[in-house]
Structure 1
Amino acid sequence: MNFRKQCKFRKGGQRGFTLVELLLVLVILALIAGLVLPGIIGKAESAKAKAAASQIIRISMSVESFYLDTGNPPSSLEELVNEPSGVNGWNGPYIKNSLLTDPWGQPYKYTVPGEHGDFDIVSYGADRQQGGEKNNADINSWD
């Protein structure tokens, strides 16, 4: 049986892939995606946690610079960006406003005086709730 005779068996003599062949390819692609995507997503969340830890270090350094310039820690993180009224010696902005939110889009929790030091800075992680483990763990300035 030659190729021209095989094509006659298809509807209208058209050449192309059958529905079964297309579905088989889609199933194979879905299986591959199911194996690869969980690893990629896990890496992205881990990268966000590392970025939050780095941002907390930068914010902490900015709070310390504010303290050295004014003699008092800021009452809120916004004072690192915008000059507060009635504060002498402010020499900011000390940090970019965009760094005051964690990689999950939530503002960092800043407490002064802190329970673990002069001030505490916390991101509640991916779940945006206090506590948690792994990717949902809190990231803070005292660990």
Structure 2
Amino acid sequence: MEYYYKSSRKRGIRGFTLLELLVVMVIIGLLAAYVGPKYFSQVGKSEVKMAQAQIDSLEKALHQYRLDVGSYPTTEQGLNALVTRPGNEIKWQGPYLGKAPPPDPWGKPYQYMYPGERAEFDLFSLGKDGQPGGTGDAADIANW
């Protein structure tokens, strides 16, 4: 009686070894460790640029408001005076914005003061941390 052993593997076909898989995983991990921080720092920079662009847009609307009314909105009237007529402003020709003033990129309202402490009016975001001062993403973004 003869027994023939049939291998389930065909010759020339083989899979990856555990060592090869580990090497590939280490390489992917190193690439992620290198690229990840660079990607997330760019996200932070884009939020700061977006806040500055929004402040510039709000600043232009405030200047147009002043040209029509003769002065900037008071601190109490705030940025909403750019969208809805304050009750006592007969020279108001708005709206000066297409919709309500947007929040900053971190979801907080922009701060507005008239008269300002650092400029004719102060318009600023407190940054990512929502606290005065700070550096990097947490730095204040302002019109001065």
Report the TM-score, using the length of structure 1 for normalisation.
0.79
Q: Whole-Å Cα distance in 1 between the matches of residues 28 and 95 of structure 2? A: 50
Q: Percent of counterpart pairs with the same letter?
A: 41
User: Quick check: 2:83–2:100 contact (8 Å CA) kept in 1?
Assistant: no
Structure 1 residue runs without a partner (length 5+): 9-14
Say whether 1:55 aligns with 2:42.
no
Structure 2 residue runs without a partner (length 5+): 1-5
**1:72 alignment partner in structure 2:** 71
Report the TM-score, using the length of structure 2 for normalisation.
0.78
User: Quick check: 1:56–1:121 contact (8 Å CA) kept in 2?
Assistant: yes
User: Quick check: 1:55–1:99 contact (8 Å CA) kept in 2?
Assistant: no
Q: Whole-Å Cα distance in 1 between the matches of residues 104 and 26 of structure 2? A: 38
Q: Whole-Å Cα distance in 2 between the matches of residues 135 and 108 of structure 1? A: 16
Q: Cα 1:84–1:20, aligned 2, differ >3 Å: closer, same or farther?
A: farther
User: Quick check: 2:82–2:94 contact (8 Å CA) kept in 1?
Assistant: yes
Q: Whole-Å Cα distance in 1 between the matches of residues 99 and 125 of structure 2? A: 16
Q: How much has 1:72 moved relative to structure 2?
A: 2.5
Q: Whole-Å Cα distance in 1 between the matches of residues 100 and 43 of structure 2? A: 20
Give the paired residue count: 134
User: Quick check: 1:83–1:90 contact (8 Å CA) kept in 2?
Assistant: yes
Q: How much has 1:65 moved relative to structure 2?
A: 0.8
Which structure has the highest helix share of the two? 1
Match runs of 1:57-136 below 5 Å: 57-74=56-73, 75-97=77-99, 99-136=101-138
- Provide, for residues 10-39 of structure 1, a one-character-per-residue CA deviation record: whole Å limited to 9, x for no partner: xxxxx7556665454333322211110110
Q: Following TM superposition, where does structure 1 have runs of at least 4 consecutive aligned residues deviating by more than 6 angstroms?
A: none
